[in-house]
Structure 1
Amino acid sequence: MNALEAASRADTIDNWPPYDIVKTGEDDYRIAMAVAGFSREELAITQEQNMLIVAGQKANGEDVQYLHRGIAGRFQRRFDLADYMKVADARLVDGLLTIDLKREIPEEMKPRQIGIETGQAMAKAQPKQIEAGKHAA
């Protein structure tokens, strides 16, 4: 969660598209990103180890001469992810891209409770005696 919050505190020149980060459960998070004007085919979500990259690139199908261009035609947003964070789901509905994340810690990495047995103490082990060999002089 701290890594996700660090992404929102980082000063960037381009703060588009706007996004929210929400904790939805013990190990569940959601990134909601406003990407109005982009279709599903123009968006790409990539996870590389502990980095989530969301990129958008408008198709260059129109030959139009712009007098003013204020609507972004492409973007790339990076999020640092904590260890064992995985993308569980991604949806685009009404210009809002929602990415669900889940932290899945392997069983061997999770803390576990160790039981303590009661009873007699272990018997003291008898020390082994090593016999010295006799050498001829």
Structure 2
Amino acid sequence: MQFAPQLYSAALRMTRKPADAEDLVQETFLKAYRAYHTFTAGTNLKAWLYRILTNAYINRYRKQMRRPTETDLGDAEDLYLYRRIGDSGQVTRSAEEQVLEQFVDADVKAAVESLPEHFRLPVLLADVEGF
């Protein structure tokens, strides 16, 4: 395992994720062990291992590009709701817009709307919604 740290460093540069780099190095050593009979004695072992590492990374990358992208359930739910709204032809107002419409005084409404986002939400929740 004399080349393991160097292979890990190269794998980390390729994958940018420590767990993926560890998997890639492990796969490299497994492939090298299985194909050791093809290694020519007296040649550069380090270069041979780096070539296996690079090819393994390329194969993983290509496989990943062929696989459809995965999304979490929350994103799928949002897409479903978005499509439902589009199907019904109704565009609903946001909760913030509905709350702002409750203000009778235009000056108060304008003042709340002019607040930065990180101040506006607490004001609406505390003073308007009663949280």
TM-score bin (small chain) = under 0.3
Greater RCO, 1 or 2 (C-alpha within 8 Å, sep 6+): 1
Taking structure 2 as the reference length, the TM-score comes to: 0.20
Q: Which is richer in helix?
A: 2
TM-score (norm. length: structure 1): 0.19
